[in-house]
Amino acid sequence: MVYDLLADVPRMGEWSPECVGCDWIDGANGPVVGARFRGRNRHRLARWSTKPRVTVANRPSEFAFVAPDGFGRDLTIWSYRLQPADSGTELTESFELLRDIPWYIRAWRRSFMGVKDRKADLEANMDRTLLNIKSAAEEAGQVHGPHG
C-alpha cells in the first residue's frame, strides 16, 4: 500500500532529494499522531536536522507532519493525501509555511544552499519525491500518479 511506503519515515531518505534519513525518536516506532522523528537533511553545502511531529496518520488516505524551526516552533506542515485511482493510488504532496522565514535563514539558504526561491526549490523536490515513491510502489506492484 502506498500509504505504508510514505508513512515509513525511516525510508524518507529513499524518496526525497533533500532528506538523507529519518529515525523515530522519543519512544515512537511508527506513524501515529504525536509521534516524533528526527529528519536529517542536506542541500549542497547545507546540513541540518529537524524533529517533526506527526499530525495526521489516517491510513490509507492521509499522512502529515509539522516540522519546527530552530526554536521548536511549528514552521512547515507537510501533507500527503492519497485517493483511489483507476491505476492504483493518486498521491498528492503539499506543504504550508506557518510563519514567515526570518531574514537570517533566507540569507543562510542563499549562501549555503544556493537557493533564491525556496518555494520553487521545494516544489521541484516534491516532484522528485513523488516520482521516487511511484517507482517504489511500482516495484511493490502498486501504481499511482504523482501530483504535487
At 105, is the pLDDT very low, low, confident or very high (cuts 50, 70, 90)?
A: confident
Would residue 49 count as lying in a domain? yes
How many domains does one find in the chain?
Answer: 1
Q: Please, what is the average pLDDT of the chain? A: 91
Would residue 146 count as lying in a domain? no
Distances 59 to 45, 63, 83, 103 between C-alpha atoms, Å = 36, 7, 11, 38
Q: Is pLDDT of 146 > 80?
A: no
Backbone Cα Rg of the chain: 15
Exposed / middle / buried, residue 108 (Cβ in 10 Å: 0-12, 13-18, 19+): middle
Would residue 24 count as lying in a domain? yes
Dist. CA 29–CA 60, nearest whole Å: 18
pLDDT at 38: 98
* pLDDT tens column, 69-81: 888 999 999 999 9
Would residue 37 count as lying in a domain? yes
Q: Is pLDDT of 42 > 50?
A: yes
Would residue 92 count as lying in a domain? yes
Distances 14 to 22, 62, 63, 102 between C-alpha atoms, Å = 10, 20, 17, 30
66: domain CATH number is 3.30.530.20
Structure pTM?
0.89
Tell me which residue range forms the domain holding 87. 2-141
Would residue 148 count as lying in a domain? no
